[in-house]
Structure 1
Amino acid sequence: MTESYVVGILNNVAMGDDITEYLQRIDSTLTPFEGRFIIHGGLPDVREGQWSGDLIILRFPTSAAAQHWYTSDAYQAIAPLRINNSTGTVAFFEGVNQNHRATDILI
């Protein structure tokens, strides 16, 4: 079983009371699903191309845990606080196993 990741790239975040409340409440929504932040914004050290937005990566032990977190009542109660105060993309990714090699995608 591989870990699962929720990746968000947020732009135009309107920092205010709603985003503050979202940030104050999100950690408690992650705990029941063993989710945790891997990356939460910060300035990237861009080596190629251009970067815009804030990168957020959450790690979950399984895809099911990530899906259950996102659809949970607790998270859905605060999601509008983010959605209504930013633009961006949120996507789910399956991790690879520890023996993964780049050429594995050629099979």
Structure 2
Amino acid sequence: MTAYAIAHFHRTSNHPQVIEYIDRIQATLDPFGGRFLVHGGEQYEMEGRWAAAVILEFPDLAKARAWYHSPAYQDILHLRADHTEAEIVLVEGVAPDYDPSATAAALRRAAQQDTTATT
């Protein structure tokens, strides 16, 4: 299942080390099949405040985790982290045939079971 690294930046910087990080990051992604889906494009804040958003795509969650913990990425991570504030999550995507109403039905059943168990 495809996986994503999603970064929600609260504060960004054009510090020379951040620019170096950006210049070097693709080489850390390549061995894991990672690629940018979102990076620095126009954005509209619909809820909350975001300085910037970045989304990376990986073939699966194992490769995303391996990339993040790889020596190559860990070697450059401080270049960004020392000059920005962000929250980053690795998350598995959904199948092409994903149906949110099936998830809602499962949640309803679970909620009903919780209600029945507590009464």
Q: Does 1:91 align with 2:80?
A: no
Q: TM-score, normalised by structure 2?
A: 0.82
Residue segments in structure 2 that go unaligned for 5+ positions in a row: 107-119
For residues 55-104 of structure 1, what are the alpha-carbon distances to aligned partners after superposition, in whole Å with 9 as ceiling and x for unaligned? 00000001000000000000000001111000010001110001101113
- Bigger relative contact order (CA 8 A; separation at least 6): 1
Residue segments in structure 1 that go unaligned for 5+ positions in a row: none
Structure 1 residue 52: deviation in Å? 2.0
Farther off after superposition, 21-30 or 7-16: 7-16
Aligned amino acid, residue 90 of structure 1? I
Q: Which has the higher helix share?
A: 2
Aligned length: 105
The residue number in structure 2 matching 1:31 is 30
The residue number in structure 2 matching 1:57 is 55
Q: Structure 2: how far apart are the matches of 1:66 and 1:5?
A: 7
Q: TM-score, normalised by structure 1?
A: 0.91
Q: Report the secondary structure of 2:98's partner residue.
A: coil
Q: Structure 2: how far apart are the matches of 1:97 and 1:73?
A: 31
Q: State the identity as a percent.
A: 31
Q: Structure 1: how far apart are the matches of 2:23 and 2:69?
A: 19
Q: Larger C-alpha radius of gyration, 1 or 2?
A: 2
Q: Could you list the structure 1 runs, at least 4 aligned residues long, displaced by more than 4 angstroms after superposition.
A: none
The residue number in structure 2 matching 1:69 is 67
